[in-house]
Structure 1
Amino acid sequence: MSDAVRVGETIRAKVQRLAWASEVANSLKEEMDGLLASGSLIIPLEPGGWWHQYVCPQHHTELLFDPSVADATQFHCPHGCVVRGAEYRGAWLVYKHQQLARIALGAAGVYAALRDDAYAALSKRLIVDYAAQFPVYPVHPEAQPWMLKGRAFHQALTESIWSTTLIRAYVLLVDEGVVFSSDEQQKVDVFLHLLEESMRAYRGILIHERNNAENNYTAWLNASLACVYAARRERHELEALVEAEGGFCHHLSIGVKPDQLEFEGSTYYHVFVLRAYLIFAEMAKRCGKDLYASEGSLGQSMRGMMEALAELADDHGVLPALHDGPMERLPYAREIAEVAEQGLSHYAVEGLVPILREAYRQMGSADGSRSGLEALLYGSTTAITNPSNVPAEPRGSKLWPASGFVIGRHASNPLSFLVDFGEHGGAHGHLDKLHLTLMHKDRTLSPDFGVVPYGSTLRPWFGETTSHNTVSLGGKSQAEHTGRCVRFEQTEASTYAWLQSDAAYEGGLLNRHLLLTSDWLLDWFEVTLTNEEDLSIEWWMHPVVAPQSKQLTERSFADTLQYPLISIHENLVDLPIVGRFAPEALHVSMEYRLKEGSEISQTAMVLPNQELLTVQTTGHSIDPSIPLTALLHRQMGKRAKFIHLYHVGTGAMFEYDPAEDRLGITFEGRTTSVHMSPEQGLLMV
């Protein structure tokens, strides 16, 4: 395995040539020394449960995990709660098993870097201990009925991910000449055999029984099998898996849209599947087969998936939490770093640098410089020496027509936008068509909040329409459906996007028009209903900081009789109205302070029979227990027009001519007239 041998040599060369790589290797060594001293590096004899249940039932935040603890029966919330129970212990065991597999890979990497036999011994001990225990774990009796059951975990999916980490540690040790005794090798062989049997069986269920080959599960079952075949040097089996139904090439063709985004429309699952592809490609390379330039039947590729991430991120490298997925989570940051490092190494996609910098920041690096296992294994020796020192390249607007996303950017405007109009996304989709994410170069103001761990009872809220920046009717969520992009146009002067939905509600037509210029962003949202009865038409915005306005009168949400609650869903808490804006003439003005010296101004046109309110809501998915203040612009009737202007600097003024459907916008002494044409949409005149 000449290609395999170069993996260890590359790690060693990085450490010898590059100061950051030497620092990373020695830092990992010190981390492992501390864990060894704590006595926590002993594999549990119990299988893991479902990690999504590792969430506080009161605050809905992910529970804390201390890697230096060998065993635990009580679990701590960031707010001080202590919880106990079998489901929490099962979830904790998932973290523990995953941590120990990561330690095995990290120790193998440190051995390759520093040639200290103690770390080869640590890695080998963990691998052999797990190989010996794996046949003892039952096919999980406590897994939920919908799950494909694993042995070491409730889910076969979790098992496949864990196994790729453990086997990568094994093949790296073998690369470096570490010898396993006949007894140790026999245990490893039994483990690989059982793992292959289960992964092949589950592929059969997904691909043939459920006709669900595009599932993200499949990519990980493939990756686990690729690791098995690479460990056993079975090139023929691996090549067959590349070409098989549901295999590497087929999954790339059906699991990724032609515009290079994973089919569920979730950024998290995009990274998730891309990481599985990269592990498969790494194992294929060890068997002498290069998959890094592979393409799906419609041009889908790992390079294209990397470039899509580079386009989606905000100016700080933060990836939007589209549909299901966390906004920020340490294991996710590590996954992003692993993917982004390889995107730089294999494809030189420099747009990944801000994403990599942000991932390392979330992993604990104050300035975003390289740190941790991902840097040691995959950090490029040529493309980027230190991601924290590389400025972000300017980017233009972008339409993903197959996936249903559009981004608007203008080089002279610190504001930009992202809108979701595409397919629902299946099990990981949200009821959020025409959702608007508003970004500033310093911070995203109104993000998509992603979702809490699935074990939280608050999970439904994060999928509802009213938790997104779009329109709902009568407090009810949209139907699962696909919207459309009617018009997308980018010129030197502006970017214009006209997004439409006619299936969100029966008899409802939703049109969102977004016009971004060098000075401002205009959001013009029109709703037309053909129903016999008037309905409450509700425009929602969920900023991460509360609006400030002289026109805002605060209400006491304790007085629910005078200031009613917004009822969203029978299984969710009602939302209290906490403020009301009193318009001066036609418009309301408000500001958002993102940080010192950085503000966004918003001007809202409040027409007769409309009201603009502030509503207290659940917080974002990182910590839902810290409430946020949402804007609710609403009107009873069959037609509604919601017009909002965002800008940086002084306030804007509106003049509206309803007969001509024409809006005059005065900004910094300059007036621009915008006309709504039924055929062409928004036109600047």
Structure 2
Amino acid sequence: MTILSSLKVRFLSFLFITVISLSAQEHPKLILTKTGVEKIKKQLGKVPLMDQAIASVKAEVDAAINKPINLPIPKDYSGGYSHETHKLNYRLMQKAGVLYQILEDDAYAIYVRDMLKAYAGLYPTLPVHPKERSYARGKLFWQCLNDSNWLVYTSQAYDCIYEYLSKKERKYIENQLFRPFADFISVENPQFFNRVHNHSTWGNVAVGMIALVMEDEQLLQRALYGIKDVSLTKGLKDDDGGFILEPGKKAGFFANLDEPFSPDGYYTEGPYYQRYAMYPFLIFAQALQNVKPELKIFDYKDGLLIKSVYALLQLSDMDGDFFPINDGQKGMSYYSGSLVNAVDIAYYYGSKDPELLAIAEKQNTVVLNDAGLAVAQDITQDKATPFVKRSVDLKDGPNGEQGGIAVLRQDGLEVVFKYTAQGLSHGHYDKLSFSLYENGEEVIQDYGLARFVNIEQKGGGNYLKENTTWAKQTIAHNTLVQDGTSHFNGMYEVGSKNHSNHYLFNIDDLAAQVISATEQNAYPGTHMHRTMVMLKDSSWQKPMVLDVMEVKSDSTHTYELPFYYMGQLLTLNQPYKANVQLKPLGTENGYQHLFKEAASPVAEENVKFSWLANKKFYTLTTLASAADSIVLARVGANDPNFNLRRDPALILKKNNVADAFFVSVLESHGSYSTVSELAVNATTSVKQITVLYRDQDYWAIKLELKEGEDKIVAFSSKNVNRNTKHKLNVKGSVISWQGPFAIINLK
């Protein structure tokens, strides 16, 4: 090789390395990319939904940009002044960074730069937050979780103005702010960072996002796989969920993908916290796709992240509100910003499903990046088709073997049946519980959480003690309670090791949709099997819901089954007596928060309880015996600060029995007009429920109706094989069928 050739090769190699290096340093690259920014610029004024989103963000940032930068000394809980100010700051920085890229106005970059410099000056002076409630106190906020929120958003802002800053400015901001910040929420708080929980997801993603901007491979590996120095985690315990951080236990972003999610995309903490965690999961996935495409993050575990968006959407009612199982605040919906981001990303990186465009249309906004542009363009081109909410059964657990949650849907009715694992620290003790909705309104409710999120006047906006003493307890849910104690005796360490088991999910025939599951660990020596059937008949106004709870135990107990109905009691066909002086039902396990308003022994074979809600009539018809009793209760006892809602309940009670068989039918019927003051179809069409047959293997129930055909529902409690043939001799008549259940119409 000649000297000239050698020099040429070296020069080309140097040029190649330089190009690679420059390419690696190109910004923005996380959520926005150079290519994506140019696409958005070319479409300005042409895509109404994108233009509208930009205008909205611009108006918000423009209103703040000329005001003095405000960095109050941290001192408050959620909802307090310092908390909300720092929260507003990180959101404004992220939005201003995006505007700088799209609109090319230096004023936005200057705003972010000056804010970052101010934080870089403040952060080294800060001690840990003065509020001591959290197991992992932050510096800017009362917990590391919120500090991580700050860094996730601020990383995006820094990426957007990275090239605007001088090298000296970047060095100052990174060394004074970002690197100490990332170390603080990770190696200085391993009990927060090195675990599987939505808190840790935010921490992992915060460190990962800033690592990608700064091109710090060591930080990135920490984010993806957790802290590897086991000496930092040995013996540490996090008091939020009782996890012991054992050396060698998986941690980091991938562990938080592997363990809480099932193959169906269900997140074990429930939809409320899945919604909260979706933002960091998907925003980091988008950043990894842009910066580290070789990881193929959206293909990971058979497209798990995209599946999770669909699972979450299916776990919302007809109005888009997420079902409030576990710790869930009612009213949280797919209109939240985290779901706007989730829907746009799922559409862009998924299969361009036109059904997702229908959700985006309802959200009426998009995120300001490549994904949002794609959604906005395709909506403009009328590509949206209706999003269909189907009856679904979503498995729980990393391998889909830890129970699950099902939703049966028909004609505006939705039955939510929960038979999941514990759900980490946000789980409730409510195996085999259910709730019922009609047209997006609660009929039989799940209480949700006891917390006023970000309302400082109520416990600093944090979880109230009643969340533990009431909302998590079994009696607060629509499921079986044995001897006045909660499932697993309310012990997290026990509950987290157990889960209910799937038995049957069948929606082949919309005339009878079935979900069935078992639980045998909630109470040692007691086996529970609950089956819910959504029955439809053309002669009925609405489908009916058959609810059967089988209980078998090796000793006698008192069993209670509550129904938390929403509305005003109309009639009860039992001679109940209202209590003039209200007293709590008990002293612990949630009973201390229930007033006993009335009680009645059972005088009829079928108890009929009707109520009015949302201008509709509802009736619960339930099978009972002379030894049973009924309690009318109301939430609110031992609640001096009025932290709990005053919601009513009907409690069915069976005393001193080993085996119990609860059979009920829930019916929506009729309507009431407050304008014409006319009640239509105000009484139940169920005449009587009768048990025709019951043994260890089968049950058969007859529904006698005032009009139309009577029905027999026959069920095999031990065999779900579709090909197995069954035969029962019922009072001289033979019932035969194939498969686990049958619906037999009687003339």
TM-score (norm 2): 0.73
Q: Does 1:616 align with 2:616?
A: no
> 1:487 and 1:508 mapped to 2: Cα distance?
20
> 1:138 and 1:206 mapped to 2: Cα distance?
18
Alignment CA distance shift 1:8-1:545 (3 Å): farther
For the residue of structure 2 that corresponds to 1:16, the secondary structure is coil
Cα contact 1:353–1:390 (8 A) shared by 2: yes
For the residue of structure 2 that corresponds to 1:548, the secondary structure is strand
Q: How does 1:137-152 map to 2 (within 5 A)?
A: 137-140=126-129, 142-144=131-133, 147-152=135-140
Alignment CA distance shift 1:386-1:311 (3 Å): farther
For the residue of structure 2 that corresponds to 1:380, the secondary structure is helix
Q: How does 1:548-567 map to 2 (within 5 A)?
A: 548-549=570-571, 551=573, 556-560=578-582, 565-567=584-586
- The structural deviation recorded for 1:350 is 5.4
Q: Does 1:498 align with 2:501?
A: no
Question: Which deviates further from its counterpart, 457-466 or 127-136?
Answer: 127-136
- The structural deviation recorded for 1:636 is 0.8
Q: How does 1:302-341 map to 2 (within 5 A)?
A: 302-328=305-331, 333-341=336-344
- The structural deviation recorded for 1:628 is 1.0
Structure 1 segments unaligned to the other structure (5+ residues): 55-88, 358-366
Paired amino acid for 1:648: S
For the residue of structure 2 that corresponds to 1:381, the secondary structure is helix
> 1:18 and 1:25 mapped to 2: Cα distance?
11
Superimposed CA distance per residue, residues 320-346 of structure 1 (whole angstroms, 9 cap, x where no aligned partner): 222123223599923233223322332
> 1:473 and 1:658 mapped to 2: Cα distance?
26
Q: Does 1:393 align with 2:391?
A: no
Q: Does 1:31 align with 2:55?
A: no
> 1:299 and 1:8 mapped to 2: Cα distance?
30
Cα contact 1:315–1:354 (8 A) shared by 2: no
Paired amino acid for 1:393: V
Which residue does 1:402 correspond to in 2?
401
Q: How does 1:44-443 map to 2 (within 5 A)?
A: 44-47=71-74, 49-51=76-78, 89=80, 92-140=81-129, 142-144=131-133, 147-174=135-162, 178-180=164-166, 182-183=168-169, 186-202=172-188, 213-234=195-216, 238=220, 242=224, 246-262=251-267, 264-289=268-293, 291=295, 293-295=297-299, 299=302, 301-328=304-331, 333-347=336-350, 348=352, 368-370=363-365, 380-384=375-379, 391-400=386-395, 401-409=400-408, 411=410, 413-443=411-441
Q: Compare relative contact order (CA 8 Å, sep 6+) and give the higher one, 1 or 2.
A: 1
Structure 2 segments unaligned to the other structure (5+ residues): 1-25, 227-249, 452-461, 489-494, 537-542, 670-683, 720-739
Superimposed CA distance per residue, residues 639-685 of structure 1 (whole angstroms, 9 cap, x where no aligned partner): 32221112333522224146655422134411101235453476434
> 2:58 and 2:606 mapped to 1: Cα distance?
61
Q: Does 1:627 align with 2:646?
A: yes
Cα contact 1:664–1:674 (8 A) shared by 2: yes
Alignment CA distance shift 1:12-1:567 (3 Å): farther
Which residue does 1:86 correspond to in 2?
none
* Cα root mean square deviation, aligned: 3.7
> 1:94 and 1:374 mapped to 2: Cα distance?
28
- The structural deviation recorded for 1:431 is 0.6
> 2:107 and 2:426 mapped to 1: Cα distance?
43
For the residue of structure 1 that corresponds to 2:124, the secondary structure is coil
- The structural deviation recorded for 1:139 is 3.3
> 1:136 and 1:588 mapped to 2: Cα distance?
67
Cα contact 1:43–1:130 (8 A) shared by 2: no
- The structural deviation recorded for 1:47 is 2.4
Paired amino acid for 1:28: V
- The structural deviation recorded for 1:544 is 3.3
- The structural deviation recorded for 1:436 is 0.7
> 2:571 and 2:668 mapped to 1: Cα distance?
15
Alignment CA distance shift 1:35-1:628 (3 Å): farther
Q: Share of identical aligned residues, percent?
A: 17
Q: Does 1:577 align with 2:608?
A: no
> 1:648 and 1:386 mapped to 2: Cα distance?
41
Alignment CA distance shift 1:286-1:506 (3 Å): closer
Paired amino acid for 1:18: V
For the residue of structure 2 that corresponds to 1:603, the secondary structure is strand
| Structure number with larger C-alpha Rg | 2
For the residue of structure 2 that corresponds to 1:559, the secondary structure is strand
Alignment CA distance shift 1:425-1:99 (3 Å): same
Cα contact 2:600–2:629 (8 A) shared by 1: yes
Instruction: Give the counterpart of 1:541 among 555, 559, 563.
Output: 563
Instruction: Give the counterpart of 1:674 among 696, 709, 713.
Output: 713
Alignment CA distance shift 1:143-1:386 (3 Å): farther
Alignment CA distance shift 1:574-1:387 (3 Å): farther
- The structural deviation recorded for 1:440 is 2.3
Paired amino acid for 2:34: V
TM-score (norm 1): 0.79
For the residue of structure 1 that corresponds to 2:293, the secondary structure is coil
Cα contact 2:298–2:349 (8 A) shared by 1: no
Q: How does 1:633-648 map to 2 (within 5 A)?
A: 633-638=652-657, 639-648=659-668
Instruction: Give the counterpart of 2:49 among 5, 20, 42.
Output: 20
Alignment CA distance shift 1:255-1:425 (3 Å): closer
Which residue does 2:540 correspond to in 1?
none
Cα contact 1:442–1:594 (8 A) shared by 2: no
Alignment CA distance shift 1:164-1:387 (3 Å): farther
Instruction: Give the counterpart of 2:703 among 646, 659, 665.
Output: 665
Instruction: Give the counterpart of 2:501 among 469, 484, 487.
Output: 484
> 2:343 and 2:626 mapped to 1: Cα distance?
51
Cα contact 1:252–1:295 (8 A) shared by 2: no
- The structural deviation recorded for 1:403 is 4.3
For the residue of structure 1 that corresponds to 2:503, the secondary structure is strand
Question: Which deviates further from its counterpart, 566-575 or 397-406?
Answer: 566-575
> 1:355 and 1:527 mapped to 2: Cα distance?
42
> 1:47 and 1:377 mapped to 2: Cα distance?
34
